[in-house]
């Protein structure tokens, strides 16, 4: 289990005050026993696979390109570690799952998970078993799923629906996305109890075939955060379910990337999740 983290993630930048440097600084201290890996900045080439040139330019004009590239680079590094068969948690900010190809909101700028998943799909190519690559698919049309080695399950456990990620992969059949709890953007999760929520995580894993598991790990469904639902042991249980699902389906290839989570206990939520996920 590796933690992808840079002290630069805790730098100050202009954003909503709840998205504070302590969101990564305190969990990093809590995870001190794990092996830490420094992320590189994501390359503009990798980012351009997901975001339009105009969008990247707007992020630059807001002064957010450097921190956003580093967060995306953290997610990519975590995906690379996962492809080698080891679990990884990218402790990054700013978050990413509300960033679509050409627009972003909700304290997100670049879609960290989407950039990492697209990079991983390219690396996996025709299969994890070293098979020859199939013919290149041209254009932005529908990507066919199936085949070996090129399917990703993204489990989004943030309180909020990961609309950016869903819109980015809408036409890509290699990628399945489960927004746990957020059955639809109308937030039906409010009717769930913790057991119902955890049951959705179990079903998402059980009902999917995948070669890599990615987790948009937001913790704002925590009991004392906005969602008011899950306790620390629930996050450990969710991490464990995701680990066991990855071990069963894809030789354990799994990584998680921090999304939301705004209560001071975020550090404990992350630690609980990692304990189950490692
Ligand atoms: Zn959220």
pLDDT digit string (tens) for 10-23? 999 988 899 999 99
How many CA atoms within 13 Å lie on the side-chain side of 222? 23
Read off the tokens for 239.
């991490």
Q: In terms of pLDDT, which residue wins out, 3 or 143? A: 3
Residue 42 has pLDDT above 60, yes or no: yes
Query: Smallest Cα–Cα separation from 258: which of 229, 227, 232, 220?
Result: 220
- Give me the mean pLDDT over the 70-96 stretch: 98
Tokens 């987790």 correspond to what residue? 215
CB atoms within 10 A of CB 209: 11
What's the CA-to-centroid distance between 136 and ligand 1, angstroms? Answer: 36
- Band of pLDDT at residue 191, cut at 50, 70 and 90: confident
Proportion of the chain above pLDDT 90, given as a percent: 83
What's the CA-to-centroid distance between 7 and ligand 1, angstroms? Answer: 23
Tokens 């002064």 correspond to what residue? 63
Rounded to whole angstroms, the Cα distance separating 138 from 202 reads 35
Rounded to whole angstroms, the Cα distance separating 128 from 149 reads 5
Residue 6 has pLDDT above 70, yes or no: yes
Residue list, CB under 5 A from ion ligand 1: 158-160, 218, 220, 260
**Least trusted range by pLDDT, from 206-210, 225-229, 250-254, 261-265:** 225-229
What's the CA-to-centroid distance between 262 and ligand 1, angstroms? Answer: 9
Query: Smallest Cα–Cα separation from 128: which of 166, 79, 84?
Result: 84
What's the CA-to-centroid distance between 220 and ligand 1, angstroms? Answer: 6
What's the CA-to-centroid distance between 259 and ligand 1, angstroms? Answer: 7
Asked if 141 contacts 131 with a C-beta cutoff of 8 angstroms, the reply is: no
> Can you give the pLDDT at residue 187?
56
Domain ranges of the chain: 2-126+143-277
Rounded to whole angstroms, the Cα distance separating 158 from 177 reads 13
What's the CA-to-centroid distance between 137 and ligand 1, angstroms? Answer: 34
Rounded to whole angstroms, the Cα distance separating 197 from 195 reads 5
Q: H/E element holding 116?
A: helix 112-124
User: If DSSP codes are grouped into helix, strand and coil, which group holds residue 65?
Assistant: helix
Query: Smallest Cα–Cα separation from 47: which of 66, 61, 63?
Result: 66
Query: Smallest Cα–Cα separation from 28: which of 91, 95, 112?
Result: 91
Domain covering 2-126+143-277: architecture:
3-Layer(aba) Sandwich (3.40)
């Amino acid at each position: 289990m590796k933690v992808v983290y840079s002290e630069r993630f805790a730098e100050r930048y202009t954003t909503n005050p709840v998205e504070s440097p302590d969101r990564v600084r305190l969990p990093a201290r809590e995870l001190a026993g794990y092996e830490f890996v420094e992320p590189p900045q994501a390359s503009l080439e990798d980012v351009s696979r997901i975001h339009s040139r105009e969008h990247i330019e707007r992020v630059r004009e807001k002064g957010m390109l450097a921190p956003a590239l580093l967060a995306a680079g953290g997610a990519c590094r975590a995906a690379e570690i996962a492809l080698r068969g080891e679990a990884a948690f990218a402790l990054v900010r700013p978050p990413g799952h509300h960033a679509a190809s050409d627009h972003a909101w909700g304290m997100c700028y670049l879609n960290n998970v989407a950039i990492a998943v697209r990079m991983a799909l390219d690396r996996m190519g025709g299969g994890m078993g070293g098979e020859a690559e199939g013919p290149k698919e041209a254009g932005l049309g529908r990507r066919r799923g199936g085949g070996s080695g090129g399917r990703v399950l993204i489990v989004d456990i943030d309180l909020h629906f990961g609309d950016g990620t869903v819109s980015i992969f809408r036409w890509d059949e290699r990628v399945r996305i489960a927004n746990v709890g957020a059955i639809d953007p109308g937030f039906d999760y409010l009717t769930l109890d913790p057991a119902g929520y955890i049951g959705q995580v179990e079903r998402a894993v059980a009902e999917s075939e995948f070669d890599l598991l990615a987790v948009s790990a937001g913790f704002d469904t925590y009991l004392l955060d906005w969602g008011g639902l899950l306790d620390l042991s629930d996050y450990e249980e969710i991490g464990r379910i995701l680990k066991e699902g990855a071990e069963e389906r894809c030789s354990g290839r799994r990584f998680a990337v921090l999304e939301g989570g705004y209560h001071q206990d975020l550090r404990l939520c992350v630690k609980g999740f990692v304990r189950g996920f490692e």
